[in-house]
Structure 1
Amino acid sequence: MSTTFTTMTRSRTPLKIVAPDSDAPVHAVTPNAAPAASATQRIVDSITDAIAHRRLMPGTKLSEQKIGDIFQVSRTVVRQAFNQLSRDRLVVLEPARGAFIATPTAEEARDVFETRAILETAVTRQLCPVITDAQIAQLHEHLALERAAVENVHVEGRTRLLGDFHLVLAQMVGNQVLVQMLSELLTRSSLIALMRQSSQSAEESLAEHVAIVDAFERRDVKAAVRLVSKHLSNVQANLDLDPQRVDLAQILQR
């Protein structure tokens, strides 16, 4: 798989960074305000957002009727949303049982982080030599928001901001397909972390982000690539991907 992207030739609007203390709802549900396709996308976006921000746990059953009532749409529209989420591997559809938030396997988790490493180190190699002072300032602004969320123990805010750091870097490359791919991988990473995260420290991730930005500021491509790769390795290392087998005899015969 090639890790080389075309040179950055166009600029895009930077990702909007939302302060962690914002009380605004993520999605406003307006009944019967959009055609079926738009309503389907609103459901997809809401469920995806809830997974990314750790409000929906792996294995949660999704009721067609209940979601239809929340969005005031037909069950057909809800099924269309479930089908789309299933294609994105965020929802599992089980015959005669319904729809459930996916529970990724250890193998899937490894594949997700391997793919992220390929994409994100490629982003770093491309962006680091050409990053502008304005983009460096944007990264420092983002770090300040991360720090505030971590210090205030704002769990949802820090989760969103720590993940968005990687999207901000991808957005700066100017390749929207890349941003979409990484966004999907980050959502799946959130699902994996919900199941398998052990002692991952938000403070550790913040410190690693600071080091990455320092390398970008020096335009030190080699150091930036090394730090990004190490950061992703550390995140994966803090996931319980190889749980010990339970010996029932040893547990029960005490």
Structure 2
Amino acid sequence: MDKNDLFTLEDNIVNFIFDAIFTKNLQPGTKLSESVLAKELNTSRDVVRKAFSKLQTMGILSYKKNQGFHVVWISEENAKDIFTTRKIIEAGIVEIVTKRHLKENLDLSSLLENIDTEEYLKLSHRNGEYVKSSCDFHLNLAALSENEFLINALKPLIPLSILAALIYEDENTEFSSYDEHRVLIETIKSKNVSNAKNVMLEHLDHCLEVLDFDITNKKNKFLFAN
């Protein structure tokens, strides 16, 4: 097995963990087993350990000696920092994409299809799939920027946002991402860079506003369950 094969396997494991977070199958504080995952994915513990180390570098996993790797716990301060950082990165992404659309008339149909899927999943109460579809929208939009630095900077922030939502999200909120995603695409299509950036910033503000940081005893609940 050459280095490229190892790199591909590690990336597959990273994406596997991301998907498990997107679909809410991995909760904050969950301990991950190298041996169990290696068996499940038919690979070696060494490859899994390298993937876990990469996820630790991204901030997705934490590690303590004699305790192993755990999915990180997101504090209120960390959650706010995550969305502040996302606003900086995604405003830049939207600016690039809107300027590209101004010059090249980008095909945005795949993003609109993504939004239709979001709405369908939300109305069908398929919450895990809906969350993943909403995340895919942001990552697919980033891909249109063709800026690898911004894409790679955003990628770990999306699952971290989901982990924050798992802890703090107000279950009674009526917030639906697909409505605001539609507005964003229409603004990009209008080729108004300033407006498009403002719509993205307002959207991310709303994503943060639906988190309820007054919720108490959440950490004990999650850690007890895991």
User: Please, what TM-score do these two structures have when normalized by structure 2?
Assistant: 0.83
Candidates 56, 70, 78, aligned match of 1:108: 78
CA distance in 2 between counterparts of 1:72 and 1:215 reads 46
Match of 2:152 in 1: 180
Offset at residue 238 of structure 1 (A):
1.0
CA distance in 1 between counterparts of 2:201 and 2:143 reads 19
Offset at residue 166 of structure 1 (A):
1.4
Candidates 82, 95, 98, aligned match of 1:125: 95
What is the letter of the counterpart of residue 74 of structure 2? P
What is the letter of the counterpart of residue 85 of structure 1? L
TM-align CA RMSD: 2.5
Whether 2:209 is the aligned partner of 1:237: answer yes
Match of 1:77 in 2: 47
Candidates 142, 147, 161, aligned match of 1:189: 161
Larger Rg: 1
Whether 2:109 is the aligned partner of 1:137: answer yes
Question: Could you list the runs of 4 or more consecutive aligned residues of structure 1 that deviate by over 6 angstroms after TM superposition?
Answer: none
- Residue identity over aligned pairs, in percent, reads 27
Offset at residue 58 of structure 1 (A):
0.7
Paired residues, number? 213
Deviation digits for residues 25-59 of structure 1 (CA, Å, limit 9, x no counterpart) = xxxxxxxxx95554433333212221132211111
For the Cα contact (< 8 Å) 2:100–2:106, is it kept in 1?
no
Match of 2:59 in 1: 89
What is the letter of the counterpart of residue 154 of structure 2? L
Higher relative helix content? 2
Offset at residue 76 of structure 1 (A):
3.1
CA distance in 2 between counterparts of 1:123 and 1:244 reads 35
For the Cα contact (< 8 Å) 1:62–1:101, is it kept in 2?
yes
Aligned with 1:135: secondary structure? coil
User: Please, what TM-score do these two structures have when normalized by structure 1?
Assistant: 0.74
Match of 1:47 in 2: 17
CA distance in 2 between counterparts of 1:72 and 1:42 reads 12
CA distance in 1 between counterparts of 2:160 and 2:184 reads 23
For the Cα contact (< 8 Å) 1:112–1:188, is it kept in 2?
yes
Match of 1:217 in 2: 189
Q: 1:140 to 1:200 in 2, by over 3 A?
A: farther
What is the letter of the counterpart of residue 212 of structure 2? D
Match of 1:205 in 2: 177
**Which is further off, 184-193 or 220-229?**
220-229
Aligned with 1:92: secondary structure? strand
Offset at residue 180 of structure 1 (A):
1.9
